Structure 1
Amino acid sequence: MSDHCTTTVGSYLASRLEEIGLQHYFAVPGDYNLVLLDKLLENKNMQMISCCNELNAGYAADGYARATGGASAVFVTYSVGGLSLLNAIAGAYAEDLPVIAVSGGPNTNSESEFEMLHHTLGTLDYDYQRDIFSKVTAEAVTIHDPREAPAQIDHAIQTALRFRKPVYIEIACNIASAVTAEPTVREFGGPTASDPLSLNAAVEHAAELLNAAVKPVMVAGVKLRSFGAEEHFHKLADASGYAIATMPNAKGFFDEQHANYIGIYWGPVGSPGCGEIVDSADLCLFAGPTFTDYTTTGHAALINPTQVIQALPNSVVFPDRTFSNVKLADFLESLSTKLKPNDASMVAYKRIQEEVTPLRPGAPETPLSTRQLFSRIQQMLGPDSAVIAETGDSWFNGIQLDLPTGSRFEVQMQYGSIGWSVGATLGYSIGAPNQRPIALIGDGSFQLTAQEVSTIIRYGLKPIIFLINNGGYTIEVEIHDGPYNTIKNWNYAELVNVFNAEDGNGWGCKAGTEGELDDAIQQAVAHDGPAFIEVLIDRDDCSKNLLVWGGHVAKNNGRPPHSA
């Protein structure tokens, strides 16, 4: 904690970020936040990670929050920096990640003295950035009075942790070094507790329905992690004996080596046999789900809403009633003591379960295919792996990977901002130093955020990045093709030498055949630093599931307007 005689608004914020567990924060400097950054650097228990631009810094904060399961922070300058950051914070909002976005702001005297300022819209209204951020955050505050700063900072941080959403804090450039009160002892808890009466009633009703069901199943949803319920879901799965599936954006949130795991529930592009078991269940408990056009393959999933219980972050929704103020973790934990074991859905799954035949490698000179690429990636996975799959065909190939116990899988399926994975790989590498990320990035997505590879090199991180070069935006091709889906080719592997300059330890190569890929993977795994493998894939070589999924999403997008 800072000494009370020297506590400034900037050092107060730094102390609170350290207190909630941050060891790093991401930053891009600008004249409105330079003094604030000085005050942050005085705290030696946290490290500043300097990024190439604000959007990538926001993506890195996204990845850090995923890796740690807690909050993250990103610091930018006013307007030109904040509005560049905006897209990443919107993604964090969509994905339930408590990213604390902090911007420097104009001098508190500027508006009252009618000063026109640089980096602004050329008007005397300097509240616009806070107003814009208020649409994509759970709280947006501007700090102009150092006496009010402690309460404003504490409230914003508490809001981020409670609601698992980003918050925005703007600190005027002449306030960051102003003296304020020292941090007091307090608890920054997570979500509030359940209402006991509502919780008990929801659990009793769920147990009654599930225990009476003939062939119940459970499906893990993406909100399990954000709301601290992964372990509780595992406990419930062990107690129930039901067949357990996961939604695509929750892959890795349930142990895929569990005896009752049946795969990814994703409508017509899910794991073989999984959809049939879930759709035929007479009752299905979805824990923390999101039902979007992407997670349901253009709403092609066949779930009967009268046979579904939805356990949401703050409520439980039954076909006939809803219980509010029931927290997801509390509900799953309590329900695990009430269920009678029932393996009927597992018995049914085993009847139709398909044997998976491993793909045999071809001759070393065989041109690479996506199937052969991902068969090699499968062999690389261990308990310390973290697969980070960029929006695109990497979703569909990555979803089919069989994750070892302990490994993780990350996608940004709700927001789907292409280019997210480069910054997220940076943030994840820093937030989870004992896991080695394996990033799967298409060439089109990579071109949006490529420069952050230099930051990965700068801080000596060790992800393995597969750059899949197939000449365009493959996912868009399968939804709706046109000349805009073709991009300018780069010599991607050579970028590593550009980013290395005189002091980097990045390693990169290009692989166009199976033999070249095998050699590249062997060198990448052994390399003590970031490894970058550009793999050359035919433009029309994509997963079958992307073709099916793209058709359904295109059909959903293409519905004509309702007539008046």
Structure 2
Amino acid sequence: MATVVTYLAQRLYELGISDYFAIPGDYNLGILDELLKYPALKMHNCCNELNGGYAADGYARIKGAGALVVTFSVGGLSAINAIAGAYSENLPLIVVSGAPNTNSVQDAEILHHTLAEEDTSYVRRMYAHVTALTTFIHRPEDAPMQIDRAIAVAMDKRKPVYIEIACNIPAKKVSTPTKSAHNAKRVSDSSSLKAALKHASEKLNQAVKPVIVAGSKMRPCNACKEVAAFSKATGYALAVMPDAKGFISEEHPNYIGVYWGPVSSPSCSEIVESSDLYFFIGPNFNDYTTVGHDCNLDPLKMITIKDGTVSVGGAIYTNVYMHDFLQGLQRLVKFNNTAYKAYTRIKEVVTYPEPTDLKAPVTRRFLLQQIQKMLSKNHAVIAETGDSWFNALDLTLPEGCLFEIQMQYGSIGWSVGALLGMQTALKDQKRVIACIGDGSFQMTAQELSTLIRYDYHPIIFLMNNSAYTIEVQIHDGEYNKLNNWDYSALVKAFNGNSVKAQAFKVKSSQDLTDALKEVSKTKALCFIEVMLDKNDCNKHLLDWGSRVQQYNSRPPRAG
């Protein structure tokens, strides 16, 4: 026999989850006690629920799913912003919350941690907007069915789910779970698929310079390998949207860079926008990924597939899924590498000159150059919302180097918790390099102590320019100034009684060079505070910020 919560633990383990993130509270202590009886799962205590949610998000990006355990109401509502981000980014998180005693619910008692009203279902109603399913487990005999349904929905929809468990039933006995592969797949409508393939293949075979642009929604479809294989088999030039950087190897033979409209990689936008047919696979067209919807693309020259729908020049085919479509299309289209050959003729190689005076103030360019030299298959990169996006997107990733940003939701502060999740998932396989702005770090700085607590060894570059730089470039004001912390001193405070992590404060190019020599010799967490001029930001941020500002400032339409 299992208990309600060990049944859940078994299902989490079957998903590939070996770690979960938790913040204790009186309503979830029984849940945590039962989870600790399942040794294959390791608990990671976070400083607060928001950070725990970000950690589960980062973990799911590596493992395919993540888990967070919170207490009722005050814990769940603290985490809800992170869960909303995971929802928007198509990440299946299993959020488990303790809930009031079943007798308290039946008797309509007024309880602590609530809104001082009899109805305690309000948390589920709030979570209904940012999850694919919410459920309240209050009868042990129903727990297996409710747990299995929630997990099935999370994996099918690639969205978070929210499970409340009454605090008096976590240890109640239920049947032992039968093994589940959690591998149910959607099947395309055969007639719609056939028609879509015929129309798309005709268009592609007629095109002179077809090009592929891959977006972030190919990952929830588990289609990244299929996209790479399709490009290789067809010869089509292959670009990625900014939120899909790292999803496909940048050493792919047809890779041409990041397509981001006017702030694309060098020579990439010229090839994409001059094509007579662009094939967007899993695109996420929002105002950030399109620079305020300012891309020079003709919808009539576009084929897209996402969310089970194919569009060929505006003609729509529904219930057609990515695996079926790409595999079928690959058999029907002719080899055509014209666009890639055009790219090789105009490709620009960007180089940054070495500084003539290493004692001069360190610059963003020099920092980026040094990070580039560090990268290998043994690293992963995570970039915070802001100038770090643009700097990290300029990096060239070697084979096997992972990359993560949160471009759809763009929640400032996300990266500190997500770094914890990524490094927890990767363990010692890869060392995560985090690029984080000072404003973002101030929002979630506590999780640095959790990284130290569990003896993880990431490398954190804290860009200190005393401002919310991305906001400055969109719309500046007094509100974008920061109280300038002594960031590197926080490492000493968070180390506690044992000295584990190392901190460096970098003001000059020589300081950075010296710090990186030390970093290469230690496996401890390394925190490098880089003092940058407020106006030393990526040129693409300047262009992007002005365009987004114009987009946000459009006057109301008359009538």
Q: What is residue 250 of structure 1 aligned with on the other side? A: 244
Q: What is residue 465 of structure 1 aligned with on the other side? A: 460
Distance (whole Å) between structure 2 residues aligned to residue 282 and residue 15 of structure 1: 51
Distance (whole Å) between structure 2 residues aligned to residue 19 and residue 232 of structure 1: 25
Residues 191-270 of structure 1 mapped to structure 2, 5 A cutoff: 191-270=185-264
CA contact (8 A) 2:193 2:325 kept: yes
Distance (whole Å) between structure 2 residues aligned to residue 311 and residue 526 of structure 1: 47
Q: Which runs of 5+ in 2 are unaligned?
A: none
CA contact (8 A) 1:103 1:170 kept: yes
Q: What is residue 521 of structure 1 aligned with on the other side? A: 516
SS of 2:334's partner is coil
Deviation at 1:348, TM superposition (A): 2.0
Q: Quick one: which amino acid aligns to residue 468 of structure 1?
A: M
Distance (whole Å) between structure 2 residues aligned to residue 445 and residue 483 of structure 1: 17
Q: Quick one: which amino acid aligns to residue 295 of structure 1?
A: T
Q: What is residue 28 of structure 1 aligned with on the other side? A: 23
SS of 1:110's partner is helix
Deviation at 1:191, TM superposition (A): 4.0
Q: What is residue 295 of structure 1 aligned with on the other side? A: 289
The worse-fitting range, judged by mean Cα deviation, of 122-131 and 184-193 is 184-193
Matched, 1:141 2:135: yes
Deviation at 1:350, TM superposition (A): 2.4
Deviation at 1:124, TM superposition (A): 0.7
Q: Quick one: which amino acid aligns to residue 202 of structure 2?
A: E
Deviation at 1:29, TM superposition (A): 0.3
Distance (whole Å) between structure 2 residues aligned to residue 176 and residue 133 of structure 1: 21
Out of 298, 309, 316, the position equivalent to 1:315 is 309
Residues 499-514 of structure 1 mapped to structure 2, 5 A cutoff: 499-514=494-509
Q: What is residue 537 of structure 1 aligned with on the other side? A: 532
Spell out structure 1 runs of 4+ moving beyond 6 A: none
Residues 362-441 of structure 1 mapped to structure 2, 5 A cutoff: 362-433=356-427, 434-441=429-436
Matched, 1:59 2:83: no
SS of 2:303's partner is strand
Residue deviations 1:353-398, cap 9 Å, x none?
Answer: 2232343234220101111110111101111221100000000111
CA contact (8 A) 2:272 2:278 kept: yes
Distance (whole Å) between structure 1 residues aligned to residue 355 and residue 231 of structure 2: 37
Deviation at 1:538, TM superposition (A): 0.5
Distance (whole Å) between structure 2 residues aligned to residue 451 and residue 492 of structure 1: 12
Matched, 1:44 2:27: no
Q: Quick one: which amino acid aligns to residue 139 of structure 1?
A: L
SS of 2:219's partner is helix
Residue deviations 1:31-73, cap 9 Å, x none?
Answer: 00000000000000110011110000000000001112x1110
Distance (whole Å) between structure 1 residues aligned to residue 488 and residue 141 of structure 2: 52
Q: What is residue 159 of structure 2 aligned with on the other side? A: 165
TM-score, normalised to structure 2, is 0.98
CA contact (8 A) 2:232 2:253 kept: no
SS of 2:106's partner is coil
Out of 5, 8, 12, the position equivalent to 2:3 is 8
The worse-fitting range, judged by mean Cα deviation, of 478-487 and 7-16 is 7-16
Deviation at 1:190, TM superposition (A): 4.7
Distance (whole Å) between structure 1 residues aligned to residue 366 and residue 134 of structure 2: 48
Deviation at 1:184, TM superposition (A): 2.3
Matched, 1:483 2:448: no
SS of 2:373's partner is helix
Distance (whole Å) between structure 1 residues aligned to residue 337 and residue 180 of structure 2: 46
Q: Quick one: which amino acid aligns to residue 354 of structure 1?
A: E
SS of 2:136's partner is strand
Distance (whole Å) between structure 1 residues aligned to residue 325 and residue 159 of structure 2: 21
Q: How many residues align?
A: 558
Give identity over the alignment, percent: 52
Matched, 1:330 2:324: yes
CA contact (8 A) 2:467 2:534 kept: yes
Deviation at 1:326, TM superposition (A): 1.5
Residue deviations 1:395-454, cap 9 Å, x none?
Answer: 011111111111111100000000000011000001122111100000000000001011
Distance (whole Å) between structure 1 residues aligned to residue 381 and residue 546 of structure 2: 26
The worse-fitting range, judged by mean Cα deviation, of 315-324 and 115-124 is 315-324
The worse-fitting range, judged by mean Cα deviation, of 14-23 and 470-479 is 14-23
Change in Cα spacing, 1:444 to 1:167, as seen in structure 2 (3 Å) is same
Distance (whole Å) between structure 1 residues aligned to residue 324 and residue 133 of structure 2: 26
Matched, 1:82 2:67: no
Q: What is residue 558 of structure 2 aligned with on the other side? A: 563
SS of 2:91's partner is coil
TM-score, normalised to structure 1, is 0.97
Q: What is residue 446 of structure 2 aligned with on the other side? A: 451
Distance (whole Å) between structure 2 residues aligned to residue 93 and residue 294 of structure 1: 17
SS of 1:148's partner is helix
Q: What is residue 498 of structure 1 aligned with on the other side? A: 493
Deviation at 1:504, TM superposition (A): 4.5
Q: Quick one: which amino acid aligns to residue 229 of structure 1?
A: A
